[in-house]
Every structure is written in C-alpha cells, then in structure tokens.
Amino acid sequence: MPRRTHKPTLSNAARPATFTVDAIDENGATIPTPIAGEHPLTIYVDKREILTIMTLGAAPEALVIGYLRNQRLLESVDEIVSVQVDWETNACSVVTKNGLKNLDEKMAKRTKTTGCGEGTVFGDLMADLDNIRLPTDIKISRTTLYTLLNNVRLHESIYKQAGAVHGCALGNVSGEILTFVEDVGRHNAVDAIAGWMWLEGVGGSDKIFYTTGRLTSEMVIKAAQMGIPFLVSRSGLTEMGYSIAKRVGLTMIGRAVNKHYLLFTGAERLNDG
Amino acid sequence: MPRRTHKPTLSNAARPATFTVDAIDENGATIPTPIAGEHPLTIYVDKREILTIMTLGAAPEALVIGYLRNQRLLESVDEIVSVQVDWETNACSVVTKNGLKNLDEKMAKRTKTTGCGEGTVFGDLMADLDNIRLPTDIKISRTTLYTLLNNVRLHESIYKQAGAVHGCALGNVSGEILTFVEDVGRHNAVDAIAGWMWLEGVGGSDKIFYTTGRLTSEMVIKAAQMGIPFLVSRSGLTEMGYSIAKRVGLTMIGRAVNKHYLLFTGAERLNDG
C-alpha cells in the first residue's frame, strides 16, 4: 500500500474514554457505572474559529482532519501543516499552507443548509453526488462479511462498557479491520475514519465501511464521497439513505449482526459463499 | 389545565412514516422491509431561508415551531401567525408578527458554535443554563415510572416497524403519555414535543420527558430549558449530560426498560413504592 511522505505535525491528545459515576438501580443498590466522555472541541483554522464539535475525544486530530475533508474545506492532507489539540482550552488549532477553500461561501451555505437532523453541510454534500463513481469490479463474499462482523464484535470497547457511543470501522475485502473509532456522534466517528484515511494514505475503493449507526442520507453520502463501495450497518436505514445508495450504486447492507443481514442495494457486489 | 386562546394557523402535512422496499436476506430470500421516511424540509421565516432539517415528517409543524422555540428565536407561540408545510417544494413557511429575535446575531453564533455532534446552537443553550430553576417539590414513584415505560412500549409504532428512528414522549406524573413523537433525529423529536407544548399551552414543571435516545449534553439542556424536572431514557448517557443534569438539578434516569433503570441524578424526586 502506498504511504504518503507528507504528514502533518500532530498532537496525540486522546481523552480518557469513560468515567465512572454512581447510579442507583431499581432495588436501591448503588451501581458504579461507566459513562462515555463528551467534550466540546472548538476548531480554529489559521487562527479563525470554525465551529465547536462535541466529541468523545478518542481520536481528536483525525476527527478534525476528517471534518475538514468531509466538509470539502480542504482538498488534500498535503495542505495541512499541523493539528494541535489542547484539552486545557478545549481547542484544536489547525495550520494550513494556503488557507481553507471558499471558507466564507461555505460558512454562509452551512448557515442556510445545515441539517439540524444531521448537523453538517447538507447542500454541498448533495451537490457533489453526481460526480461520484464507485468501482464496479470489486466483490466480497458473505463469508467476508461475517468475518468483518465478528471482528467488529470482538473490537468494540467503549460501547460495551458505557454505551452512548457509535462505532465505525474501516475494513478491507478480507474482512480485517484497518481502523476502528467510537464517538458520541455517528458522523464524528465517520469523520475520524476519513481523517485517518488521509493521514495513512489509504483509499476507499477496496474497503468496507461498517457503522453501528443508522444509514441516514448523510451516512450514505459520506461513504460515497470517501469512494467506499460497501456500507454495512448493525442498524436500519431511512428512505433517503436508500434512494441515495441506489443512485450512486453503493452496496448497502443493514441489520447486520452475527450471520444475519438485509442487503438493500448493490447486490452485484455480494457473492454467495 | 389552561388552554391558549391564540393558535397559529397550521397546515396538517404529516408524511407517510414508512415505505416498503425489497431486501435480500442471508438466505437469498426477498424480504419486503419497511424503512423510515427521511425528507429535507427547508424552513423560511417571513420569507427568509433559515435552514434545512432532515425529518421523518410525522409532525412537521410542531417540529418547526419547537425548533424556533428551542433555538430561542421566538419567545412565545403568540408571535407566530402561521406555519404552512408544503411537501411539493419541501418547504415550511412561517409567518411571524414581529420577525425573529436577533436573527443575524444568532445565525452568526450558530455558524461558529454549532456542535457537529449535535447539530444545534450549543453556545446559546449553555449560556442560558444558569437561569433555569426546576421545581423541587414534585416527586414521582417507581410505580409511576414503570407505568410510563409500559405506556411507551405499547405506543411506539414506527420504530417497531422500521427502526432507524428515535422516539420522545411527554408524560404526566401519573405516567400517562400526553404526546409521542418519532423522528429520524433525536433532537427533532425533542423539538417537536417542545412545539406541541407551545401549541397546547402545556408547561413542563409537572412532566416527565422520555426519550429512546442517549442523554447527551444537548438532550439534557433542552429538557431543562423546557422546565421539565424528569428526564428518562432507554439508553445511556454521556459525562457532559451527567454534569449538566447535576448542575441544573434534573432527575435523570437511564437504561430504563421494563422494571429496570439506573438513577443518575436528582434522587430526591423519586420515591420508593
């Protein structure tokens, strides 16, 4: 796999993922209970405040890079000089080579079109859909899918302890997990995977994207934008997620747990056996 | 209960909640599968575009009113002349008496502080917290909690059919459900309940707010802003949700299913028996 020579300078500022508090159960017993962290992180790019994200803080540098990527504010990881997260001030400072692309225009557009159901630049995402071409020559078998699902089951950590998080995994077509991220928001976890892919120079065309979250329009659009032909979820899907998956030719599988699943679109990429 | 004399003129434009598509299961069988609707709805207030929400569309008028309420763009339902939803154009047109309060300032603030993990005006919400006083003289029993949980179990409809939605219920202190809303986003369902409360002239001080979703910071803030002292969830919570609930003195109960629960904060409002 080709690796990039350029890498931005990064902090390594993951937060503790869980905190334990005392709860009282229905029998009056005190139960020490792990709960997921949730922290505001304000992103500054070249000293300008962009927005505040609520995050678990497990992979904050990758999250911020992936956010800038998925919002189309940067075209390449090569444009990033450094990403420094400081939890004393709940701030992430990003330095770029040449500034963000069309920032004012995108900020204005975001203000108008942010989906409050989804929390991101919806107008922009939809507009780019017609340029997406997903590979048609790559297939996986059911056995590979089951292997990936089993690997995810063994991998999840914060969810098992504390719940209240969503997990995303990037798998290869052998069903191996390349990276796994949990966060308090579905779309944060996706963005962190997108950031990791840029940092590691990993492309999407021969990958499987797994999420514990629902397959809403935004999830499908992001997977397609990342060039990933397979999208797999433990949960269900929405009508718009379904329509977009059909339109871009994505292979979308829902309700995937153990050896059960429902294949909704793109059946040609899933082989028997 | 006092009822308002003023009511805005409303359309009654609920969308069909589910659509059936064919999926293929692990045995190769074709399974007709209901999936939840998801539609963009662009809000215009006095002809100015505010934002686009992705919604199931089950209670669009209440959703839009509750959004404007929870974003503090309006102070009273009396300021609303009409709310008209048109699914031909995916538009909701709101007419107010005197315009929105500090719209430009709030729009600018949103641009900077929108939590992408949550998708709303986080900065504003936090700033108002210290003004919130929740009633201390109201209590419920465990039996009331169990009654409410059983009523929710019997009520949920779209989730049972199609999954991929979150439900919210507003209950009274007898455990009866006053209104129940499902939507593709947790915060949409909350906003629709807030809109319903305004339309019906219902206050929060003697109510229980139930959600299937996780108790993140935003959910706790919204419940507190609506003046509701009890917040109950089927799911878990985050550290920040916990901290805010403690700070505002909310009674917060998680993992509430059947006759099990974990009480996290505000134990003084839950009686034995």
Q: Give the ipTM of the model, two decimals please.
A: 0.82
CA distance B111 to chain A (A): 6
A207-225 per-position pLDDT tens digit: 999 999 889 888 899 999 9
Q: Do B54 and A217 touch (CB under 8 A)?
A: yes
- Residue matched to tokens 């969810």: A159
Contact list in A for residue B59 (CB cut-off 8 A) is: none
E-strand ranges in chain A read 9-10, 18-25, 30-36, 39-45, 48-55, 80-86, 91-96, 140-141, 166-172, 177-183, 207-211, 230-233, 251-257, 260-265, 270-271
pLDDT at position B111 is 39
Select the more confidently predicted residue: A92 or B127: A92
Cα–Cα dist B230/B228, whole Å: 6
Q: Do B120 and A116 touch (CB under 8 A)?
A: yes
Contact list in A for residue B118 (CB cut-off 8 A) is: 54, 119, 185
Q: Tell whether the model's pLDDT for residue B2 goes beyond 70.
A: no
Q: Tell whether the model's pLDDT for residue B81 goes beyond 90.
A: yes
Q: Classify the C-alpha dihedral B74-A54-A255-A172 as positive or negative.
A: positive
Q: Tell whether the model's pLDDT for residue A10 goes beyond 60.
A: yes
Percent with pLDDT over 70 in chain B: 89
Please work out, in degrees rounded to the nearest 5, the angle formed at the alpha carbon of residue B117 by the alpha carbons of B113 and B120. 45
Partner-chain residue, chosen from A28, A38, A67, that has the shortest CB–CB distance to B217 = A38
Q: Tell me the CATH number of domain A9-129, given options 1.10.1060.10, 3.90.230.10, 3.10.20.10, 3.40.50.2000.
A: 3.10.20.10
pLDDT at position A159 is 74
Interface test with chain A among B53, B190, B239, B244, by most A beta carbons within 10 Å: B239
A97-123 per-position pLDDT tens digit: 998 877 776 665 543 333 333 344 445
pLDDT (average), residues A81-92: 96
Of residues B71, B72, B67, the one with CA closest to residue B83? B67
Nearest CA in chain B to A268: B24
State how far Cα B222 lies from the chain centre. 8
Strand partners, A257: A260
Cα–Cα dist A250/A135, whole Å: 9
Q: Classify the C-alpha dihedral B231-B236-B239-B240 as positive or negative.
A: negative
A122-157 per-position pLDDT tens digit: 455 666 788 888 999 999 999 999 999 999 988 877
Contact list in B for residue A261 (CB cut-off 8 A) is: 25-26
pLDDT at position B120 is 45
Contact list in B for residue A214 (CB cut-off 8 A) is: 163-164, 184
pLDDT (average), residues B258-265: 95
- The domain made up of B140-271 has a fold known as Cytidine Deaminase; domain 2 (3.40.140)
pLDDT at position B124 is 57
pLDDT at position A109 is 52
Domains A9-129 and A140-271 share a fold: no
Residue B87 gets which letter from DSSP?
A: T
Nearest CA in chain B to A260: B26
E-strand ranges in B68-224 read 80-86, 91-96, 140-141, 166-172, 177-183, 207-211
Contact list in B for residue A52 (CB cut-off 8 A) is: 112-115, 122-123
pLDDT (average), residues B79-103: 92
Domain ranges of chain B: 9-126, 140-271
pLDDT at position A118 is 36
Contact list in B for residue A24 (CB cut-off 8 A) is: 262-263, 267
Q: Tell whether the model's pLDDT for residue B261 goes beyond 60.
A: yes
pLDDT (average), residues A175-186: 90
Cα–Cα dist B32/B154, whole Å: 24
What is the CATH class of B9-126?
Answer: alpha beta
Q: Do B116 and A187 touch (CB under 8 A)?
A: yes
pLDDT at position A263 is 96
Q: Tell whether the model's pLDDT for residue A88 goes beyond 50.
A: yes
Q: Which two tokens stand for residue B37?
A: 């609707």
**CB A20: neighbour CB atoms within 10 A?**
11
What is the pTM (predicted TM-score) of this model? Answer: 0.86
Q: In what order do the strands lie in the sheet with A30-36?
A: A30-36, A18-25, B260-265, B251-257, B230-233, B207-211, B166-172, B177-183
Partner-chain residue, chosen from B31, B38, B263, that has the shortest CB–CB distance to A241 = B38
CA distance B219 to chain A (A): 13
If pLDDT is split at 50, 70 and 90, which confidence band does A2 have? Answer: low
B114-143 per-position pLDDT tens digit: 333 334 444 556 667 888 889 999 999 999
Question: How many contacts does A have with B, using Cβ atoms within 8 A?
Answer: 223
